[in-house]
Amino acid sequence: METRTTPAGETVYVDRSDGERGSDGPFFVAYRTPEREQKYGWFCANCETFDNAMDAMGRIECNVCGNFRKPTEWDAAHE
């Protein structure tokens, strides 16, 4: 686990073995504790930021560099 500091000054732990493929680089899960008890959010490895958004269908998009992961859920009504 890699220790990182959020923009708010909070220490979080990025697990580079637990990630999802993005269009420009992977997104890794970040946790509030090294024991992985509580998820903090996603870390964009492309631009090394925590400023990411996830929608209800599982799509992740980095608000800084535009790196994105396709949705994990798909509803035909969205076509």
Q: How many domains does the chain divide into?
A: 1
DSSP 10-72: -EEEEEEEEEE--SSS-EEEEESSTT--SEEEEEETTTTB--EEE-TTS-EEETTT--EE--S
Instruction: Answer yes or no: is 63 within a domain.
Output: yes
Q: pLDDT confidence of 71, banded at 50, 70, 90?
A: confident
pLDDT in tens, 7-53: 999 999 999 999 999 999 999 999 999 999 999 999 999 999 999 99
Question: 67 to each of 23, 38, 45, 48, how far by Cα in Å?
Answer: 6, 24, 9, 11
Determine contact, residues 1/34, Cβ cutoff 8 Å.
yes
Instruction: Answer yes or no: is 57 within a domain.
Output: yes
Instruction: Answer yes or no: is 19 within a domain.
Output: yes
Instruction: Answer yes or no: is 76 within a domain.
Output: no
Residue range(s) defining the domain that contains residue 65: 2-71
